[in-house]
């Protein structure tokens, strides 16, 4: 990953700021971080940071070369390494996604807080999505009513489902669910 300030050197200083429940990450090289007045500590109680992480990985059953193995994963199609992808932020070809899947899952979880999309919905689609959700809930309730042999309730739910389907423009073949 390149420095977000100069876009020339590798980002080695990663700052996370949380303001009003909004998380913002800034990635800088050492030179830009020092120019912005960010204090960089390279020693932890007399231990160099690379040594610290190497010892930490070994204590969890990983070797430094094992931790590095993920960075050396290479795309079979274009030859791009995962480390090169992380530095540039760009894939070399469509097959890179499959080649780097293991590393991408962790990266996406760290950046977005999960791997399931929870993006914004256009205002004009909000009502339709709410109706689709209601339809799914009604269908589940209908299945439960049939399983419980509450046939009168099931008939009411079936009629409600059909009305909602017609409002949404779904074509029904007249067969009951």
Given this model, what pLDDT does residue 163 score?
Answer: 94
Distance CA 38, CA 13 (A): 9
- What element of type H or E holds 26? strand 22-28
Model confidence pLDDT, tens digit, residues 74-91: 999 999 988 888 888 888
Sign of the dihedral through C-alpha 48, 49, 50, 56: positive
Q: In the 8-state DSSP scheme, what is residue 3?
A: -
Query: Would you say residue 138 has pLDDT above 90?
Result: yes
Going by pLDDT thresholds of 50, 70 and 90, the confidence category of residue 63 is very low
Q: How many CA atoms lie within 13 A of 95 on its CB side?
A: 9
Distance CA 154, CA 177 (A): 10
Of 143 and 111, more confident: 143
Given this model, what pLDDT does residue 69 score?
Answer: 66
Distance CA 135, CA 141 (A): 10
Given this model, what pLDDT does residue 18 score?
Answer: 79
Sequence-distant (6+) residues with CB within 8 A of 18 are: 24
Query: Would you say residue 57 has pLDDT above 50?
Result: no
- Which DSSP string do the residues of 37-58 spell out, in sequence order? T-----EETTEEHHHHHHHHHH
Kindly state the average pLDDT of the residues 113-126: 72
Query: Would you say residue 51 has pLDDT above 70?
Result: no
Query: Would you say residue 124 has pLDDT above 80?
Result: no
């Amino acid at each position: 990953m390149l420095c977000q300030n100069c876009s020339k050197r590798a980002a080695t200083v990663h700052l996370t700021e949380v303001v009003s429940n909004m998380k913002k990450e800034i990635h800088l090289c050492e030179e830009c971080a020092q120019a912005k007045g960010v204090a960089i500590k390279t020693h932890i109680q007399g231990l160099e940071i690379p040594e610290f992480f190497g010892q930490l990985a070994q204590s969890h059953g990983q070797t430094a070369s094992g931790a590095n193995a993920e960075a050396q994963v290479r795309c079979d199609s274009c030859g791009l390494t995962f480390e090169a992808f992380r530095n540039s932020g760009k894939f070399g070809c469509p097959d890179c996604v499959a080649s780097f899947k293991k590393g991408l899952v962790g990266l996406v979880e760290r950046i977005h807080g999960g791997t399931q999309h929870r993006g914004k919905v256009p205002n004009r689609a909000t009502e339709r999505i709410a109706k689709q959700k209601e339809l799914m809930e009604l269908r589940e309730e209908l299945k439960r009513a049939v399983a419980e042999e509450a046939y009168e309730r099931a008939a009411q739910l079936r009629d409600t489902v059909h009305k909602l389907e017609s409002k949404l423009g779904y074509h029904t073949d007249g067969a009951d669910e």
